[in-house]
Amino acid sequence: METVERNLEQGTSDQRWDAARVAAQLPDGLRLLSRAMSVERDPHVREAILTGLARIGTPESAEAVLPDLRSDDSQLRATALDALRAMPSATGVHLPRLLRDADPDVRLLACDLVRGQSAADAGRLLGEVLAQDSEANVCAAAVEVLAETGGPNLLPLLKQCASRFPDDPFLAFAIRVAGERLGAQR
């Protein structure tokens, strides 16, 4: 384990990649990978770190990935989302908090992560977004996911959401399309 830790911290890119690939199987893997995640800048090595965290697949390993959702770098956000999608159970624990985050961009990304949850959980989580979120874009992201995962029971919530944003033509359009799709399941 000491070799893995040393290589993760001081090794060449190849050594850090190899170390990141085996770290998830070590007893202290979460600590090693979480620390590497906070300092590693090589995208290639970061991929292996993210895969390792996904392999561990606990709420704690998902937690180590969450800071990247706030990054200004779209590539970092995208790779973090991919890793979180690979551990849906672990990510699910964090979703209620992420969906209430002060940053609407984080809430928007969190809506996409709800896709990995069960249909019942997705309906519950995104139903709250439709009812309460102050940003039309976040609601639109929730509508997009619900159109794929939801059922006709969500139609009243969609209608209520549309009424909260009467001046937003895009959201109205998205809700109409989603409503037609969900209504067709009756």
Partner 1 sequence: MVFNESKRYFVERRISERMVATARTKFTDYFAHLRNEVQGEVEHLINAFTVNETYFYREDHQLECMSKDLLRDRTLTKPPGDTVRIWSAPCSTGEEPYSIAIWLLENWPQADTYNIEIVGSDIDTRVLEAAAEGIFGKRALMRLSPELIARYFHPLDDERWQILDDLRLSVRFSRVNLIETEETRREGKFDVIFCRNVLIYFDNESRRIAAENLYDSLLPGGYICLGHTESMSRISPLFEVRRFSDAIVYRRPWEKTA
Binding site for partner 1 (CB under 8 A): 13-14, 21, 41-45, 47-48, 50-51, 54-55, 57, 75, 79, 82-83, 85-87
Q: For partner 1, which is the closer residue by CB, 55 or 181?
A: 55
If DSSP codes are grouped into helix, strand and coil, which group holds residue 11? coil
- Least Å distance, CB 91 to partner 1, is 11
- Least Å distance, CB 88 to partner 1, is 8
- Least Å distance, CB 181 to partner 1, is 17
Q: For partner 1, which is the closer residue by CB, 14 or 28?
A: 14
- Least Å distance, CB 170 to partner 1, is 26
Backbone φ and ψ of 38, nearest 5°: -80, -15
Please give the Cα distance from 184 to 34 (Å, whole number).
Answer: 45
Q: For partner 1, which is the closer residue by CB, 86 or 110?
A: 86
For residue 3 the two structure tokens come to 């070799």
DSSP category for residue 67: G
- Least Å distance, CB 143 to partner 1, is 24
CA dihedral 172, 177, 180, 185 (to 10 degrees): -130
Residues 62, 84: contact at Cβ < 8 Å? Answer: yes
Please give the Cα distance from 93 to 84 (Å, whole number).
Answer: 11
Q: For partner 1, which is the closer residue by CB, 20 or 143?
A: 20
Please give the Cα distance from 79 to 64 (Å, whole number).
Answer: 13
Q: For partner 1, which is the closer residue by CB, 75 or 163?
A: 75
